[in-house]
Copies of this chain bind each other. A is one copy, B any other.
Amino acid sequence: MVIPSLIQHKRDGHPLKPEEWARLVADYTAGRVPDYQMSALLMAVFFRGLTPEELAALTDAMIASGDRLDFDGFQLPLVDKHSTGGVGDKVSLLLAPMVASCGVAVPMMSGRGLGHTGGTLDKLEAIPGFRTNLSLRETQSQVERIGCAMIGQTPEIAPADKRLYALRDVTGTVESIPLISASIMSKKLAEGLDGLVLDVKTGSGAFMPEPERAIELARTMIGLGEARGCPTVALITAMDRPLGRACGHTLEVEEAIEGLSGTGPEDLMEVTYALGVEMLLLAGVARDRAEALGRLQDSVASGRALDTFARVIEAQGGNPEIVRDPAGLPQAGAVEVYRAPRTGSVAAVHPRRIGLAILELGGGRRTIEDEIDPAVGFVITVKPGDRVREGEPIASIFARDGQGIALGTRALSEAVVIGDAGQLTPLITHRITGQGVEMLAGAGAD
């Protein structure tokens, strides 16, 4: 295998053979193909794309680079969810315990914050003592015991993805639909799932802002899942404004607890229930959408979902009491109310600006070594389309000190745009399965 010839071949628009991809990934993971050749090849893939055969071979090779979760002999159906990431997206924190308490096993593997978006792992680690780095064995045992674990990518799962992702991150080759799809799906498929639900974000705060690209990404991932015996469903959801009200780690854990207690904000619950319905249907534990929704709502009303979250926290080393008394979470040193600077209609709440402000407040990482301050962030109580009066409180800023409050105030003044007329775009626009794309009510109004 002459690597420069393979790179040239791909560069010139010709597909590589499945066995060439298999060998490339295996040799790269083993250190026999240097980074400088792989990064040139990835850039060629960025420009040329991958055929379905190439993508399948790449994904399989990435799965084969590591171990798989092994639930052989386990009774419960195994289902997971993946989100492409956004601002205020704490859905995983609610969804995993809700679905698990409906008799579905959820081995939820999540990531860290990336760019302007927050990561589920970072949010969970706002809970004092919470460990996200479980081993494969610990994860399996916890899922069998509680029905749910919330973990980071273990070193055993798809190590090729870990190396490739780190390389893409520093070589400008992240934003490629086939490479993103292979990365996500190699990890998820290594979990040995019975079904997978994808929350693919669209809008200015998403990594793929254009709906067409989001749909293409969803279809690509669904194709990979279905071909490997993992029924996969995607919802395209709006990320042109933050999801829910809370943005920031402590604040989002608090809002997740509110949601599990039946008092969560409407948009957050709508997305969570919609994804949960798909998970229960894929798991085969509900006959139809109405039954699935009923079971999920009951898991909240009965307190079982919140209780499952508490058991997960306890099992992973955190203090389960925080679900009753969130004051046990790290609290901000300075809090201030933000008021509408004028009367009018909210035209926009820019999620990217909010996410970057959290970074600036110390709530994210600029380098891999940065410590996160989980307490900082925003609670924004208005959505596009809401009417506001000058001087009305529309948000709260949580910071370390007065300097942070000033920074947060400036960020809100830029992120929350008040004009004469605003409109809320539909929250869930498409449902995509192996059968095709279903446009949901209201999607056309966008």
Contact = CB atoms under 8 A, between A and B. Distances in A.
Task: Please classify the interface of chain A as helix (H, G, I), strand (E, B), loop, or mixed, using the class held by over half of its residues.
Answer: helix
A36 B166 CA distance: 12
A7 interface: yes
A81 to B, nearest CB: 29
A417 interface: no
A180 to B, nearest CB: 15
B44 A4 contact: no
A71 interface: no
B169 A4 contact: yes
22 contacts: A4-B169, A4-B171, A5-B172, A7-B171, A8-B175, A10-B172, A11-B43, A11-B173, A34-B35, A35-B35, A35-B36, A36-B39, A36-B167, A36-B170, A36-B171, A37-B39, A37-B170, A39-B39, A39-B43, A40-B40, A40-B43, A41-B172
A178 to B, nearest CB: 15
A38 B7 CA distance: 15
A172 B38 contact: no
Interface in A28-54: 34-44, 46-47
A443 interface: no
A37 B41 CA distance: 12
Contact of A40 (B4, B171, B175): B171
B42 A40 contact: yes
Nearest to A175: B8
Contact of A46 (B11, B35, B172): B11
A409 B98 CA distance: 77
A437 interface: no
B4 A170 contact: yes
A351 to B, nearest CB: 21
A342 B35 CA distance: 53
A8 B46 CA distance: 11
A3 interface: yes
A171 B44 CA distance: 10
Nearest to A5: B172
Interface string A47-81: 10000000000000000000000000000000000
Contacts of A4: 169-172
Contacts of A42: 40
Given A34-B35, A35-B34, A40 B172 contact: yes
Interface string A159-202: 00000000101111101000000000000000000000000000
Interface string A1-37: 0011111101100000000000000000000001111
A27 to B, nearest CB: 14
A172 B35 contact: no
Contacts of A167: 36
Nearest to A170: B4
Closest 9 CB pairs of A and B: A7-B172, A35-B36, A43-B43, A40-B171, A8-B172, A39-B40, A36-B39, A36-B36, A40-B43
Contacts of A175: 8
Contacts of A171: 4, 7, 36-37, 40
A85 B41 CA distance: 27
A40 B171 CA distance: 6
A213 to B, nearest CB: 14
A10 B8 CA distance: 20
A3 B3 CA distance: 25
Contacts of A7: 43, 171-172
Contacts of A8: 172, 175
Interface in A285-316: none
